[in-house]
């Protein structure tokens, strides 16, 4: 877990004095921290806020796509990552994640369906 547990509360405390751009960057960074702690739903919330604060910044869409991918919501991740690619077409990291999720989706097109069915069986 390294220092990620310390980053989350301190990031929130620092947010009170930041501009929208700075707050968006802070939420983006905190989203990564949540993912490193396997708290992907919280990562998604911060990525959504990042996009709301700075809708023209590709990194917010990238963070959201990564969170959706970790939540096995590949179809949504592909759409969001496509937005990130459109905003930053030369960003190799974004393009690589987009291609990775598309490739995984082509190998496992029914993955979400199987997971949903398994979850229903557990209930």
Quote the CA–CA distance of 66 and 74 in Å, as a whole number. Answer: 9
pLDDT single digits (tens) 19-58: 778 888 889 999 999 999 999 999 999 999 999 999 999 9
pLDDT single digits (tens) 93-109: 999 999 999 998 877 66
Give the containing element (helix H, strand E) for 105: helix 92-107
Quote the CA–CA distance of 14 and 5 in Å, as a whole number. Answer: 15
Task: Tell me the pTM.
Answer: 0.75
Domain span at residue 118 reads: 4-122
Q: What is the CATH number of the domain that holds 104?
A: 1.25.40.10
Quote the CA–CA distance of 69 and 100 in Å, as a whole number. Answer: 10
Q: How many domains does the chain have?
A: 1
């Amino acid at each position: 877990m390294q220092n990620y547990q310390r980053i989350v509360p301190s990031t929130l405390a620092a947010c009170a004095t930041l501009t929208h751009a700075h707050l968006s960057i802070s939420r983006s960074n905190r989203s990564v921290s949540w993912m490193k702690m396997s708290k992907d739903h919280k990562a998604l919330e911060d990525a959504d806020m990042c996009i709301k604060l700075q809708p023209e910044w590709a990194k917010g869409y990238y963070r959201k796509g990564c969170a959706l991918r970790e939540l096995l919501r590949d179809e949504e991740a592909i759409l969001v990552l496509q937005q990130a690619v459109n905003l930053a077409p030369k960003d190799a990291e974004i393009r690589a994640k987009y291609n990775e999720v598309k490739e995984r989706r082509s190998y496992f097109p029914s993955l979400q369906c199987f997971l949903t069915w398994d979850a229903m069986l557990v209930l």
